[in-house]
Structure 1
Amino acid sequence: MLQKKYLLFLVLGLLSVNMVFAQWKSYKLGAKGDTLNRVDMNNLKQGQWLIEQPPLRGEPGYLETGIYINDKKEGAWSTYTLIGDILSNENYKWGLKNGLSTFYNSMGVERIESWRAFNPANAYDTIDVPDLHSDTVYKRIIKSEPESAKHGTWSFYNAATGALIKTEEWILNQMMDIKKEAAYYKSSTMVAEKPKYIKSDSASLKKPPEVQLYEKKNSGKKKVRVRDGATGG
């Protein structure tokens, strides 16, 4: 009787395993028996992946690992040399770079990048735009683009000593010139209108109708600080 029960459990176990594997068009088994590099019946990459790129045309190979959701990278992804040394840690959302990406060389951290992904399912998105001269953070509604934008602080290091070499401030792929901003505000010949140091087209600098209506209603009243939607001010 015990032998029959054992055989029954074994058969049921094998059937359940086969049913799980049957939902994948292709996959690989990891060292611990887990399934890697899964492709579903719709040819979409799913779950944990380990990608090996061999050396090619003089370029060193690498290993890349992370999670796919419906054929798009999601969450933390890491890249290593073929002998296991870390090359990068990056973060993804909707298959696009999002958040901090850290890059290494053989001695240590080389640079840290900051990215902002836009949801391709939304026509518009809301971003935080910091005021460089105060602790104020403004909200700005912008049209979504199917890409990642440089957004935030980028830091560059001497990997051997860990010393910070320089930083860059980015807002939507446009680099802020902090030195020009600071020099302008220290100048004794300040003009009424603050110059724009971020290159933008005229359409992006035009005040939205809501702001124009607000200014019209409050004309003649005590001055209220109003943002015009531009990232330079």
Structure 2
Amino acid sequence: MRSILFVFLMFSASSFAQWKSYKLTSTGDTLNRIDKLDRKWGPWKLHYDNVRGEPGYEEEGWFEKNRKEGEWRLFTLMGDLVGIEYYKWGLKDSICRYFTRDGELKLEQSWKALNPDKEYDTLEIEDPDKFDTYRTVVIKNEGAAIKHGVWKYYDPASGRVIRSELYTLGKLEQEAKVPVTTEKKPVAKPKEVVEFEKKNSGKKKVRYKDGSTGG
């Protein structure tokens, strides 16, 4: 039994030693890891205070080599889920959704990340003159994600789309406006919000302590 415990402790010490700093949760998991090259890795939780009238918020997600990757979730400082974003190469990519504090969908954004390690990148876009036909476009990389696809603005009370915008490689192609309805209808919450509320029902916010190992 002692030998097993010794091996476990040695493994844990070795795992922590590779990080320049980290935070340790109450369950023993590590967050906010920074390696010896000052790169962010693994699960991270970021906190932003209220600034000049703008409400503070927190976001949780994953870093790879100092870049955001995959799904990131945004919360109010009270713990309400208000956004789900997706990242690739540290840039927004795919459909990002934003909600009211009551969990009603209010905005969908469509982004396309370009590989920041390349001066030029290629994308497949649909040919407007030929159905289900695509062409390859070479784009100069400006170091940021570009708007690409349909952006939808919702009336949270009714769930209806009140405005939509179509972007192709950052260019606004068309905009459609729909009158806002005054009739309030019961609208089902997005499944991401329902799953979050069900999973976190009755739970307290995770506490963590600093595990810095120094510079």
Same fold, TM exceeding 0.5? yes
Counterpart-to-counterpart distance in 1, 2:49 and 2:175: 42
The residue that corresponds to 2:108 in the other structure is 112
* Structure 1 residue 133, shift from structure 2 partner: 5.0
8 Å CA contact 2:167, 2:174 repeated in 1: no
CA distance in 2, matches of 1:37, 1:115: 26
Partner of 1:13: 8
Q: Deviations over 1:189-213 (max 9, x none)?
A: xxxxxxxxxxxxxxxxxxxxxxxxx
Of the three residues 166, 169, 175, the one matched with 2:166 is 169
Q: 2:182 matched to which residue of 1?
A: none
Amino acid at match of 2:152: S
Q: 1:31 aligns with which of 26, 29, 37?
A: 26
Code of the residue aligned with 1:128 in structure 2: it is: E
Count of aligned residue pairs for this structure pair: 174
2:157 counterpart (141, 157, 160): 160
Shift of 1:56: 3.4
Alignment of 1:35-74 (within 5 A): 35-74=30-69
Kindly indicate whether residue 71 of structure 2 is the aligned counterpart of residue 76 of structure 1: yes
Q: Percent of counterpart pairs with the same letter?
A: 39
- The AA in structure 2 aligned to 1:116 is K
- Output the CA distance in 2 between the equivalents of 1:151 and 1:31: 41
Residue aligned with 2:139, SS:
strand
CA distance in 2, matches of 1:175, 1:49: 34
Within 2, Cα distance between the matches of 1:111 and 1:134?
A: 30
Q: Point out where structure 1 has 5 or more consecutive residues left out of the alignment.
A: 1-5, 180-233
Relative to its length, the structure with more strand (as a share) is 2
CA change 1:156–1:16 in 2 (3 A) is: same
TM-superposed deviation, 1:125: 1.9
Match of 2:92 in 1: 97
Amino acid at match of 2:162: I
> Which structure would you say has the larger Rg?
1
Q: Which amino acid aligns with 2:116?
A: P
SS in structure 1 at match of 2:20 = strand
Give 1:134 shift. 4.4
Give the distance between the partners of 1:111 and 1:73, measured in 2 at CA: 21
Contact 2:164/2:175 (<8 A) preserved: no
Distance of aligned partners of 1:133 and 1:162 in 2 relative to their CA distance in 1, 3 Å threshold: farther
Residue ranges of structure 2 left out of the alignment (5+ in a row): 177-215
Query: Residues 134 and 14 from structure 1, CA distance in 2 versus in 1: closer, same or farther, beyond 3 angstroms?
Result: same
Comparing 67-76 with 25-34, which one deviates more in the overlay?
25-34
- 1:119 and 1:59 mapped to 2: Cα distance? 31
Shift of 1:175: 0.4
Question: Matched residue of 2:46: which SS?
Answer: strand
- Which structure has the highest helix share of the two? 1
Deviation at 1:13, TM superposition (A): 1.7
The CA RMSD measured in Å over matched residues stands at: 1.8
Moved over 6 A (4+): none
With over 3 angstroms needed to count, the CA separation of the structure-2 counterparts of 1:117 and 1:138, relative to structure 1, is same
Q: Give the Å deviation of 1:78.
A: 0.8
Distance 2:3 2:134 in 1: 64
Q: Is the 8 A contact 2:154 2:163 kept in 1?
A: yes
